[in-house]
Amino acid sequence: MIEYWMLPKGEIWGSIPQWLAAAIAFVAAIIAISSIHVQRQIARKRATIDFFLKASMDKECLETYETFKAELANIKSPGVHFESYIKTPAYKKVRIWLNICELISVGINRHVFDDRVAFDCWGDLLPWCYDESEPLIEWFRQKQGSELSYIDLDTVSKRWQKRAVREDYAGKAKRRAIERVNGPLY
């Protein structure tokens, strides 16, 4: 058996080509991991934009939103009886709209959608929809569904309404606008 002290000098650690090959493999691994990360970010942003574009162009979705806006007066009225309201066709449209908002919020919270792009598109609308329909959501949680109904919409709405988050996103938007004005067209 040969001990390491018996080897000629330089054979203990290997040769320069071996170390160079290891360094190249290490750099290639870092590049591959970075590439996967960037591709994932781009895919999330594209998925977000695709979903919002389809939602904005879909005729039924737009009609559902209009019904939701029209029904807010009924939802927020002090003496509303949700037991009788849930039997109306308008209630079904309101629930469809809230389910769309919840689906978007689930995508944001589970990192399927990009939070920044989603905020740029629906940063005011999601919190507004949650706030305006909160009496119905609270009633639904207590009487019809579970206490976790619309929990992702609740989470996104509260996070996006925080002053620090809004100011951070507004600052980033201003910097992007300045870069676009002063930068090249591409």
Nearest to 101, CA basis, from 40, 31, 59, 153: 153
Residue 80: predicted pLDDT:
79
Q: Which residue has the tokens 């609740």?
A: 154
Residue 166: predicted pLDDT:
83
C-alpha distances (whole Å) from 30 to each of 9, 17, 22, 33, 79 are 32, 20, 12, 5, 62
- What does each of the 186 residues of the chain score in pLDDT, given as a tens digit? 556 555 555 555 567 888 889 999 999 999 999 999 999 999 989 988 888 888 888 899 899 999 999 999 888 888 878 888 888 888 899 999 999 999 999 999 999 998 888 988 888 899 999 999 998 999 888 887 688 899 999 999 999 989 888 888 888 878 877 665 665 554
C-alpha distances (whole Å) from 16 to each of 5, 11, 28, 29, 76 are 20, 10, 18, 20, 75
Tokens encoding 48: 């977000």
Which strand (E) or helix (H) includes residue 86?
Answer: none
The pTM assigned to this predicted structure is 0.75
Helices (H), 110-162: 115-122, 125-132, 134-139, 151-161
d(CA 26, CA 49): 35
d(CA 163, CA 166): 5
Residue 29: predicted pLDDT:
96
Residue 108: predicted pLDDT:
93
Tokens encoding 44: 């999330």
> What angle (nearest 5°) sits at the alpha carbon of residue 73, between those of residues 122 and 142?
80
